[in-house]
A = this chain, B = another copy of it.
């Protein structure tokens, strides 16, 4: 891939700004042509995202206030991987599912791992598929989480995703990936023509 021709050299690095949720890191770099400059990016811990199905094939969603986009967002349970006992990503996914929705899963499997915005952030999202989810616990939210769990018809949610009504990137990615693997042309038949 001739990767070396494109690589930057990092001369120095430091946290330039910090706030709850993430830092901004500034790297002093040398570009391939020798130019020295700096580059700033968001530094945050990895996260897990869960696409949770009930035994009946419904999907467990969260309606959550998202201040960055100024609306209640309908999406998937998700959260940051915490230090220490969350080294096991599947355990983190189970914890977020339980805390945000009060549901626990029979089984989890890895769906996909992505860097959603690696142009400006080192964020990594690990997506899991959860089967056999049942309400077994109480919601356990952080003080500034405004979240309502909703059990929804999966076909209706998929149609909302493919119709463009759902903009949440984690939900769109998880459903698209799940449908690419498991779908049988259904998505092509129910609304994509009207997309946009």
A: which residues have CB within 8 A of B? 1-3, 5-8, 10, 16-17, 19-22, 24, 26-27, 29, 31-32, 35, 37, 39-42, 44, 63-74, 78, 109-125, 143-144, 146-148, 162, 164, 167-169, 172-173, 175-177, 179-185, 187-188, 192, 195-196
B residues in contact with A192, CB < 8 Å: 181
User: Quick one: which of B40, B71, B144 contacts A20, CB cutoff 8 A?
Assistant: B40
Knowing that A162-B180, A169-B173 touch, tell me 15 more A-B residue pairs with CB under 8 angstroms.
A22-B40, A29-B67, A31-B146, A32-B146, A42-B42, A42-B121, A69-B118, A109-B196, A114-B168, A115-B168, A118-B168, A172-B173, A172-B177, A181-B192, A183-B183
A53: min CB distance to chain B, Å: 17
B residues in contact with A2, CB < 8 Å: 148
B residues in contact with A173, CB < 8 Å: 114, 169, 172-173, 176
Known: A42-B42, A119-B78, A148-B2. A172 touches B114 (CB 8 A): yes
B residues in contact with A32, CB < 8 Å: 65, 146
B residues in contact with A37, CB < 8 Å: 143-144
User: CA–CA, A66 to B167, complex, Å?
Assistant: 25
Verify A73–B181 contact, CB threshold 8 A: no
Known: A3-B72, A120-B22, A188-B182. A113 touches B164 (CB 8 A): yes
User: How many copies, total?
Assistant: 2
A194: min CB distance to chain B, Å: 11
Verify B39–A121 contact, CB threshold 8 A: no
User: CA–CA, A192 to B111, complex, Å?
Assistant: 9
User: Quick one: which of B5, B110, B123, B180 contacts A117, CB cutoff 8 A?
Assistant: B123
Verify B68–A31 contact, CB threshold 8 A: no
User: Quick one: which of B70, B113, B147 contacts A167, CB cutoff 8 A?
Assistant: B113
A167: min CB distance to chain B, Å: 5
